[in-house]
Amino acid sequence: MDDAPEVTFSRRLAAEALGTGFLLIAVVGSGIFGERLSGGNVGLTLLVNALATAAALFALIEWLAPISGAHFNPLVSLALALRGDILGRVAAAYVSAQIIGAVTGVGIANAMFDVPVFALSTHARTGGAIWLGEFVATFGLLGAVWTCSLLRPSSTAGVVAAYIGGAFWFTPTDFANPAVTLARALTDTFAGIRLSDVPGFIAAEIAGAAAAIMVFRWLLPKKLQSRPQLRDATAIDNPIPGGN
């Protein structure tokens, strides 16, 4: 019998906030630093941003998955609640922790590079093509998490990190995360997004996640998608790594 103490729910929430915060530090910080070092070369800045984000995401999932599952994304938490891996109220608490962590991470990244800690972005990101890109990015991310967490859990961190890093280049934006989207409205730097553009992004992300859940529930045999319910309202048995 395993007598190891369980990680408390408050610690799981702290891990989600910490991981999401570090993810935003990586996204925003590498965007600022890359832009300063690239001499105005947007392609080089994007490359730096993509590589730093993918590397940080892999490390964060490996680091914090044993504690909280390393979701770092409200859509991942809600999808896993829908599948029965965690309770709905646990997912709701995770979402709150993720948003708090994301906003804090943006403020820290801005402060590290001596720009206003919080400033509304003026970076316009809107239009059908961009929303389609967000749909595609989120569809792929949720599909990867849904499939790998069931069939190859040990590969989830690498697959999610590689997918997000690649999607920086094959989609127009690759936010794929409502907490990230909302927090990035608070930095007027390379990674920012106008607050007025946030609703369109989040709508596209929700649509992409919903489509992925429908498709991959159909693709995978039902017996692979059945997981035991939790022992109580706060514990999370066998946390499933998520990502961005």
For residue 122, tell me if it sits in a domain.
yes
**Which CATH number do you get for residue 72?**
1.20.1080.10
The 10s digit of each residue's pLDDT in 105-133 is 999 999 999 999 999 999 999 999 999 99
* DSSP summary character for residue 124: -
pLDDT for 7 = 86
Count: domains in the chain:
1
pLDDT for 6 = 79
Would you say 62 and 157 are in contact if contact means Cβ atoms under 8 Å apart? Answer: yes
The 10s digit of each residue's pLDDT in 194-228 is 999 999 999 999 999 999 999 999 998 776 666 54
The 10s digit of each residue's pLDDT in 56-80 is 999 999 999 999 999 999 999 999 9
pLDDT at 239 over 60: no
Q: Which range of residues forms the domain containing residue 198?
A: 9-225
For residue 242, tell me if it sits in a domain.
no
Helices and strands: H and E segment counts in the chain: 8, 0
For residue 88, tell me if it sits in a domain.
yes
pLDDT-derived band at 2, boundaries 50, 70, 90: very low
For residue 3, tell me if it sits in a domain.
no
DSSP symbols for 51-67 = HHHHHHHHHHHHHHHHH
pLDDT for 231 = 36
Q: Name the percent of the chain lying above pLDDT 70.
A: 89
pLDDT for 175 = 97
For residue 238, tell me if it sits in a domain.
no
